Structure 1
């Protein structure tokens, strides 16, 4: 089934975003990619803001699919580590989309939207945090607030990698993010050996999924 004119514009915008960055997202350039006139942007999206929001929503859908690749096992902490790995992997593989999704390079007249699809990706993180809390392994803080803390931690490390402050290699994952996450869980009542065992299970699951797995931090 051939994509609709609307979908072709979204796909063309995403290609331009990946190749040239958010600054290249202009109605004329995107329309030209599909062989259409600029009027097509207004016909299908009501203007450039509408198209940008659609491109961002499409990026969040793919981001959500990446997070959903994490398994749901009887060890939700291991599942969380897998999800964190998938989060970082998406961001480093699609840095321009990530920048636009979180308003890091959006045009001034467009702010990062709080769309249903964006909220759904955060809900995936909340769900796995709820499962961790339900095990009694960590303190029963508000799960949304706890998810925000964990998200902020992952997001911060990823941003340091994207701007080049930290090298995009295994160091950020194995020597910064993973140990910091374990420290946070331990600070909330988890035993360190139990958290480290969950991390090992996550690494095994990542290896079995066919993606490049990190090493166990020392």
Structure 2
């Protein structure tokens, strides 16, 4: 007999609650009973929706990357690829700060409820990087970045911004070197490091800052989608005409 269909509101609520408990109280807070109590449901909801705690933790990872890809998908392709790739960096940071409870799980759940990330799970997260690779390729083609490996450039951007965000979430970045100041300098430095001129990079990074609000406003809460986030796996975007 197949499991009965659950309330579509329950699944995303359980994911959010579990991630928040983890971020606020640590792995010891992750129990089916505690999560169900917070959600106002029975413990059976965890097993009906995820097959158990390990399945719930995996869904937290997938949901985190699905939300990141949602922000990436709202970064429009323009005639300034450096501004576009800087905006992807801003979108990455904004997603992390908006969903810190999920961000904490996305990159290492080695001991959570007996769960450990598999190679397939990590590859799921890497799908989101394809958007950055495509944009880095355009930067190279436009002669804004020096000739090189677009995938390497994308990984360098990822590791640099991930490191800053991790320090920011840990509240390590304080005045006079607060997160905003460091991040703005970092974006420009990354563009120059990839081959752009300081003048052009400064102009493009400034443009990306003005565009962030439109990206954030574009990511509206969707109608409830009760499919597992794993069924909404991010895929490389199709190239769109420059505009």
TM-score after normalising by structure 1: 0.80
Contact kept in structure 1, 2:167 and 2:173, CA below 8 Å: yes
Aligned match of 1:8:
10
Provide closer, same or farther for how the CA distance between residues 37 and 184 of structure 1 changes in structure 2, counting only shifts above 3 A. Answer: closer
Aligned match of 2:211:
205
Aligned match of 1:91:
96
Aligned match of 1:132:
139
Matches within 5 A, 1:1-218: 4-5=6-7, 8-18=10-20, 21=23, 23=27, 24-103=29-108, 107=112, 109-112=114-117, 114=121, 117-167=124-174, 171-173=178-180, 175-206=181-212
Deviation of residue 78 (structure 1)? 0.4
Provide structure 2 residue ranges, at least 5 long, that are not aligned to the other structure: 218-243
What is the aligned-residue RMSD (CA, Å)?
A: 2.9
Of 90-99 and 113-122, the range deviating more from structure 2: 113-122
Find the aligned partners of 2:60 and 2:216 in 1 and give their Cα distance: 29
How many residues of Structure 1 are paired with residues of Structure 2 in the alignment? Answer: 208
Provide closer, same or farther for how the CA distance between residues 207 and 11 of structure 1 changes in structure 2, counting only shifts above 3 A. Answer: closer
Q: CA-to-partner distance for each residue in 1:23-46, whole Å, 9 max, x for gaps?
A: 333212233345544344334423
Find the aligned partners of 2:216 and 2:94 in 1 and give their Cα distance: 13
Structure having the higher helix fraction is 1
Find the aligned partners of 1:115 and 1:187 in 2 and give their Cα distance: 27
Contact kept in structure 2, 1:88 and 1:154, CA below 8 Å: yes
Provide structure 1 residue ranges, at least 5 long, that are not aligned to the other structure: 212-218
TM-score after normalising by structure 2: 0.73
Contact kept in structure 1, 2:146 and 2:194, CA below 8 Å: yes
